[in-house]
Structure 1
Amino acid sequence: MKKSFIYFTFIVLVASVSFSCRKKEKVKLPKGEEEVVVPCSGPQYFTDKKTFRANAMGESQDQMVAKRKALSNCRDELARSINTRIKAVTDNYVNSREFNNKEEVEERYENLTREVIDQEIAGTKTICEKLVKTQEGTYKYYIAIELTTDDLLESYNKRMQKLSQEERLKIDYDYEKFKKTFEAEMEKLSQGR
């Protein structure tokens, strides 16, 4: 019994070592095509249910201009992604609540969303950055940034509470219901991949 267990363990060990040492097969591409690997991009840089992410590239003859272009493009992309998701959440949330003047409430939510996004985009975290020099002598700057949904929700909640206390617009604001709607929308996004 002992010898067969040792023999079995040895076979499993040899098989796993040989399997892990195999080179990964390259996917054969059509003639004349070659794969381009873009720094700071790929699945690990996709938005998921807990974090909004974006990546971009900027190119210039000046290193700092390349970086500013990349960061600006990346923040724009992140803001668009957040705005689209928050718009869907807001629509679902507003439609599920009873409001006297629905149009005015939706407009206020949209303005609030823009303010929160502008404020939060400034506080994003850089998760990847690469600077390369091209053969033409220009600089390309690649960057990826992220913002957690918790940070976004916290900021949104603070602004929403302030808005709901205004005399002009008494909003029946329920953070837990909004958060639940937000999380459901983020779950849909994660499952869409």
Structure 2
Amino acid sequence: MKKLFFTGLILSIVYSCGLGKLPEGETAYEIPCTGKDYKSDKKSYRASGNASANATAGAIKAARRKAEGKLIVDIKSSIDLVSEQYEEIIEDGEIGEYTAATEEFSRKLASGKLQNIKVICEKTARVASTGMYKHYISLEMSVDDVIDDYIASISNSKKKNIRFNRDKMRAIFDEVMSK
């Protein structure tokens, strides 16, 4: 009986709060290529972007550039976290060489040389009031592809004497992605 009473009480409180109602005079709308289906998860990095221009080609190019920039920032922050945690595992004499390999990969990210980026959503609209074109895009890159590129950049480093353990690196990367 107590459970039923408390359940009813909680439901009435939630209902009275008016969850899901917008303030008067406001209208909800969904921005294309955004939402929970377009957020990063354990398997993929995802980023969205949009841009307006007076020509479709300009809107498409600018929106893609914004989405790629966001994707690179997300990947770089994960790589930095993994690097910090992995450096603790490497012996002191080799940290400098590992750091150099990490910086090389960071430069690759900064120059936008990521491969296997997929477009998972793309929409273009024309704004009637301005005549401008607005383009929405969402990009995705597999976490496995990022890890493979990262490990390859370390393995192919000119400094071959790095004692590198792929399994430990993968475990740390998976731990960072699960947070």
Give me the TM-score of the superposition, normalised by structure 1.
Answer: 0.76
User: What is the identity percentage for the equivalent residue pairs of Structure 1 and Structure 2?
Assistant: 28
State the aligned residue count: 160
**Matched residue type, 1:173:** F
Match for residue 20 of structure 1? none
Structure 1 CA distance for aligned equivalents of residues 150 and 96 of structure 2: 20
Match for residue 164 of structure 2? 173
Within a 5 Å distance, the mapping from 1:121-160 to structure 2 comes to 122-135=115-128, 136-160=130-154
SS in 2 for 1:144: strand
Q: What do the CA deviations read for 1:85-128 (whole angstroms, capped 9, x no partner)?
A: 110011101122213153453243122233257332x4300000
1:99–1:172 Cα contact (<8 Å) kept: no
SS in 1 for 2:153: helix
Structure 1 CA distance for aligned equivalents of residues 42 and 72 of structure 2: 16
Query: Structure 2: which 5+ residue stretches go unaligned?
Result: 1-18
Structure 1 CA distance for aligned equivalents of residues 156 and 21 of structure 2: 58
Match for residue 65 of structure 1? 58
Match for residue 32 of structure 2? 39
Deviation of residue 32 (structure 1)? 2.7
> Is the radius of gyration larger for structure 1 or structure 2?
1
Structure 1 CA distance for aligned equivalents of residues 41 and 138 of structure 2: 14
Give structure 1 regions of 4+ aligned residues with deviation exceeding 3 angstroms: none
Give me the TM-score of the superposition, normalised by structure 2.
Answer: 0.82
CA RMSD of the aligned region, Å?
Answer: 2.0
